[in-house]
Amino acid sequence: MRAAETIAPGSHLIDNCMDKAAFEPAAASSAPSGEQGPELLSVDRVVKEYQTDGEAVPALNDVSLQVRAGQFVAVVGRSGCGKSTLLHLAGAMDFPTRGHVRLDGIATDSLNEMQLTRLRREKVGFIFQSFQLLHTLSVVENVELPLLLAGRANPRSHAMDRLATVGLADLAHRMPHQLSGGQMQRVAIARGLVHSPRILLADEPTGNLDSATGTSIIHLLRQICSEHRTAIMMATHSIEAAAVVDTTIRMRDGRIEPS
């Protein structure tokens, strides 16, 4: 068991830089839709309680699930049911009170700080409802920043590749305030992918967007998942998502509801 840690907002943006910066479509990208790879994330009988004013606040109660490489999973349920908590545990940003989370076979509660930083850098990307772009940097500077901070080679060309993936190469030199909400979220997706993570964790990525724009973001995530075999776990209220994802997990009061 490991105590929960406080992680500064946005710190994972700096951590999320991996050794292998290439983002080649996987050889298996022509596999039929729905065919998935080896197990990437395993959540095993996880209980999560937060301590607030000496009181235990239950957030997850005996949650188990698996996500495979190339699988697109939606997590749905009312506000407060535990979706964000589950994503934080999946991304090794926080730790279970009981039970285990394994990323690519590695138990997140077995690592020291350096190993954890490396695990996050190599395996995990995050995107958020509020985009979390830095408004004093241009689009391409936002996307390349995690690679620059980690001292990676050719950050600009990798950032341009990812902007091409999300259809925004032409807007690379704009400032964030010159973009629409949907375009800002595409930039955030490019930044979340810049280090070629194995799994992208998306916390209500369409929550600030109109429904047509939200639908286009969900289709973009579907395309990334299928073409690059990046697993995606997405907390969402979007009713469009069910038709696009491989699996929908319904949560209620910290538990997964039987399907």
Dmax (CA) for the chain in angstroms is: 53
Among 16, 36, 84, 226, binds Mg ion (CB under 5 A): 84
**Cβ distance to ligand ADP smaller for residue 189 or 235:** 235
Residue 5: partners with Cβ closer than 8 Å, 6 or more residues away: 93, 94, 95
CB 170 within 8 A of CB 163: no
Among 1, 50, 62, 110, binds ligand ADP (CB under 6 A): 50
Query: Rounded to an integer, what distance in angstroms lies between the CA atom of residue 236 and that of residue 214?
Result: 10
Report if residue 100 touches ligand ADP, rule: CB under 6 A: no
Tokens of 7: 């992680």
Nearest residue to 67 via CA among 89, 94, 47: 89
Q: Could you tell me where the beta strands, DSSP code E, fall in 79-182? A: 98-103, 106-107, 124-128
CB 74 within 8 A of CB 247: yes
Of Mg ion, ligand ADP, none, which one does residue 80 interact with (CB within 5 to 8 Å by kind)? ligand ADP
**Cβ distance to Mg ion smaller for residue 84 or 97:** 84
CB 233 within 8 A of CB 71: no
Report if residue 56 touches ligand ADP, rule: CB under 6 A: no
Report if residue 234 touches ligand ADP, rule: CB under 6 A: no
Query: Rounded to an integer, what distance in angstroms lies between the CA atom of residue 222 and that of residue 214?
Result: 12
**Cβ distance to ligand ADP smaller for residue 20 or 252:** 252
Q: Nearest-CB residue to Mg ion? A: 84
Among 41-49, 79-87, 141-149, 244-252, the segment contacting Mg ion (CB under 5 A): 79-87
**Cβ distance to ligand ADP smaller for residue 77 or 197:** 77
Q: Partners of 126 in the beta sheet?
A: 201
Residue 204: partners with Cβ closer than 8 Å, 6 or more residues away: 83, 128, 129, 235, 236, 237
Of Mg ion, ligand ADP, none, which one does residue 50 interact with (CB within 5 to 8 Å by kind)? ligand ADP
Among 67-75, 76-84, 109-117, 152-160, the segment contacting Mg ion (CB under 5 A): 76-84
Q: Which of residues 86-105 bind Mg ion (CB under 5 A)?
A: none
Give the orientation angle of helix 181-193 with respect to helix 211-228, to 10 degrees: 20
Binding map of ligand ADP across residues 58-87, x = CB under 6 A, - = no contact: -x-----------------x-xxxxxxx--
Among 49-57, 107-115, 211-219, 223-231, the segment contacting ligand ADP (CB under 6 A): 49-57
Give the interface size with Mg ion as a residue count (CB under 5 A): 2
**Cβ distance to ligand ADP smaller for residue 34 or 80:** 80
Contact residues toward ligand ADP (CB under 6 A) are: 50, 52, 57, 59, 77, 79-85
